[in-house]
């Protein structure tokens, strides 16, 4: 057991969405693996999951990333040049 627990680094005015607790936090309070952010405002952080879903859908349907022509796809490859 550690004697000193390392606190997550952050600054007042930086807002995060904690995935573990499902809440907005300033600072941050939780470890990096459990949060999204930083966001500029509390409101932006409160919509973090919606923003992530929208971005994931944009990336999933982006033809530069969607090379799944035959139903297999090439995982790990980025956009094709051209």
What end-to-end distance do the CA atoms of the chain give, in Å?
Answer: 54
Model confidence pLDDT, tens digit, residues 32-66: 999 999 999 999 999 999 999 999 999 999 988 76
CA distance 39 to 23: 13
Q: In the prediction, which pLDDT does 65 show?
A: 77
Q: In the prediction, which pLDDT does 36 show?
A: 95
pLDDT band at 4 (very low <50, low <70, confident <90, very high): low
CA distance 79 to 76: 10
pLDDT band at 13 (very low <50, low <70, confident <90, very high): confident
Provide the 10 A C-beta neighbour count for residue 48: 19
Q: In the prediction, which pLDDT does 33 show?
A: 94
């Amino acid at each position: 057991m550690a004697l000193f627990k390392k606190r997550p680094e952050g600054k007042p005015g930086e807002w995060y969405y904690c995935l573990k607790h499902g809440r907005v936090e300033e600072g941050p309070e939780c470890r990096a693996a459990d949060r999204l952010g930083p966001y500029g405002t509390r409101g932006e952080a409160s919509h973090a999951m919606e923003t992530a879903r929208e971005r994931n859908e944009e990336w999933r349907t982006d033809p530069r990333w969607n090379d799944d022509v035959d139903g297999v796809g090439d995982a790990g490859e980025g956009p094709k040049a051209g």
